[in-house]
Amino acid sequence: MDTIAAIATPAGVGGIGVIRISGPDAARVLTACTDLCRVPEPRRLVFCRVLSGEERVEEGLAVYFPGPHSYTGEDSAELQVHGGPVNTRLTLQAVLSAGARMAQPGEFTRRAFENGRLDLSQAEAVMDLIDASSRKSALISLDQLDGALGRRIRETRESLLDLLARIEAALDYAEEAFLDLDPDELKSDIRGRIAVLEELLASARTARIYREGVRVTLAGLPNAGKSSLLNALTGQDRAIVTAVPGTTRDTLDSEVEADGVRYLITDTAGLRDTQDPVEKIGVERAKNAIRAGQLTLFLADASQAPDGEAVSLWNGLEEPRLLLASKWDVSVLRLDTLRDAFPGSDPLPVSAKTGEGLKELWDRIAEVCQVRQISGHEAVLTRERHVDCVRRALDSLRQAAQALDDGFPADIAADELRRAWHELGAITGDTVDEDIIDRIFEKFCLGK
């Protein structure tokens, strides 16, 4: 194993720049590229000058982490120098001249994984934490880094092994022991594992919502109050509001965070047949925005009688959709009237003017989008890769249960259980191909 080095801080100017070194030669490299005559005490910062040959190129702090108690599990060191692009590069050069080689992206974390310091899901959490775009998704990654997902997967795999052992023992001593193997009990154990995995799958949806946010589109006839509602929901004076129908021509996105979730709310042009070429394009864009969104809020103006055109637009909308009785402060209708006029609706009264109903609207949005609060230390599937593994494991478990239901011999079920065990192992990296590991780590940044 060779000794690797890289600049760990982002390119550019900053307070400090960190050069990381890891591998069996870390101590020797550190003393060779500095004026330190011996390795510093473990985990103690010491002042040093960085040397290139005899020449001083930088000065800063050095720290040494002997393995296995380091990030990578190997002997490691760090040099903290001034955070400029030229001097950090000079320092790296000095480290490389002292015998280290340039690290590949993600190579430090890959070594941590290969040395058993992190399982694969934790290594992925490191990257997700760095990439987190909201407070909540950062916290989810932190729990995963703590090992919450890995623990849940390992428990499930253990219990599958138990089941397998019971089946195999029964098969080995077929005649007398087969009686010990109560198929109903076996089935109910398998069902228990299925429930655990189904719960995990549901968590993936939540994680995705926290990571990517939710796109909500406002739609309705011209003048229904869409732009006013956009402004009210985001608390900004974002969209132009006038009493003239057809005010909004283009789509307009505005972002707002509610309960830790980022919502991208899109205001659109009022939907109507029009000869105006600009408005025509606007209506086309509105339709595209409705298709691209995850939820449509359809505004029906409650200050006038229900409009047949609005009803047919509502009927053409795909789920999930919510009907809002807009301008409720000047309503001339009862909610029941709207409910009857718009089939399949459960209208929610709102007023952009007074703010009435907005709190309820946020609650309904969260409910329809199935935003679930995540408590701390919960096992959550954060990546498509995990989701695929769990789906395949679930398939196998269902097949196993089915095989027992159909009265097939228990070794058929055992094959499926083994497959599920294998699939789940790919999440933690216990059973995974080298090329998948390559693909995961090549997406890491340099120095991580």
| Contacts with ligand GTP, residue ranges (CB under 6 A) | 220, 222-228, 241-243, 245-248, 269-270, 326-327, 329-330, 351-353
Give whichever of 120 and 300 is closer to ligand GTP, judged by the CB atom.
Answer: 300
Q: Which does 245 bind (CB under 5 to 8 A by kind): ligand GTP, Mg ion, none?
A: ligand GTP
Would you call 435 exposed, middle or buried from its count of C-beta atoms within 10 A (0-12, 13-18, 19+)?
exposed
Q: Which does 118 bind (CB under 5 to 8 A by kind): Mg ion, ligand GTP, none?
A: none
Least gap, CB of 296 to ligand GTP (angstroms): 14
- Cβ-contact 225, 301 below 8 angstroms: yes
Rounded CA gap, 251 and 257, in Å? 20
User: Which amino acid, residue 111?
Assistant: R
3 state SS for 129-195: HHHCCCHHHHHHHHHHHHCHHHHHHHHHHHHHHHHHHHHHHHHHCHHHHHHHCCHHHHHHHHHHHHH
Q: Which does 243 bind (CB under 5 to 8 A by kind): ligand GTP, Mg ion, none?
A: ligand GTP
Least gap, CB of 341 to ligand GTP (angstroms): 18
Least gap, CB of 277 to ligand GTP (angstroms): 17
The secondary structure of residue 322, as a DSSP letter, is E
Give whichever of 242 and 373 is closer to Mg ion, judged by the CB atom.
Answer: 242
β-strands 76-83, 55-65 pairing: antiparallel
Least gap, CB of 330 to ligand GTP (angstroms): 4
Give whichever of 203 and 326 is closer to Mg ion, judged by the CB atom.
Answer: 326
User: Tokens in use for 417?
Assistant: 């259980």
Give whichever of 106 and 349 is closer to ligand GTP, judged by the CB atom.
Answer: 349
Rounded CA gap, 287 and 43, in Å? 60
Q: Which does 225 bind (CB under 5 to 8 A by kind): ligand GTP, Mg ion, none?
A: ligand GTP
Sites of contact with Mg ion (CB under 5 A):
226-227, 247-248
**Long-range residue pairs from 165-171, CB within 8 A, at least 24 positions apart, any chain:** 167/410, 167/411, 167/413, 167/414, 167/417, 168/414, 170/410, 171/410, 171/411, 171/414
Least gap, CB of 327 to ligand GTP (angstroms): 4
Give whichever of 109 and 228 is closer to ligand GTP, judged by the CB atom.
Answer: 228
Angle (CA) 68 433 2, round 5°: 40
Give whichever of 122 and 326 is closer to ligand GTP, judged by the CB atom.
Answer: 326
Least gap, CB of 357 to ligand GTP (angstroms): 9
Backbone angles phi, psi at 421, to 5 degrees: -60, -40
Q: Euclidean distance between the first and final Cα of the chain, in Å?
A: 18
Q: Which does 399 bind (CB under 5 to 8 A by kind): Mg ion, ligand GTP, none?
A: none
E strand or H helix at 397: helix 384-405
Least gap, CB of 283 to ligand GTP (angstroms): 10
Give whichever of 299 and 424 is closer to Mg ion, judged by the CB atom.
Answer: 299
Q: Which does 447 bind (CB under 5 to 8 A by kind): Mg ion, ligand GTP, none?
A: none
Backbone angles phi, psi at 41, to 5 degrees: -55, 145
Q: Which does 353 bind (CB under 5 to 8 A by kind): Mg ion, ligand GTP, none?
A: ligand GTP
Q: Which does 330 bind (CB under 5 to 8 A by kind): ligand GTP, Mg ion, none?
A: ligand GTP
Give whichever of 17 and 270 is closer to ligand GTP, judged by the CB atom.
Answer: 270
The secondary structure of residue 270, as a DSSP letter, is P
Give whichever of 28 and 238 is closer to ligand GTP, judged by the CB atom.
Answer: 238
The secondary structure of residue 35, as a DSSP letter, is S
Q: Which does 34 bind (CB under 5 to 8 A by kind): Mg ion, ligand GTP, none?
A: none
The Cβ-side half-sphere exposure at 330, using a 13 Å CA radius, reads 9
Least gap, CB of 347 to ligand GTP (angstroms): 14
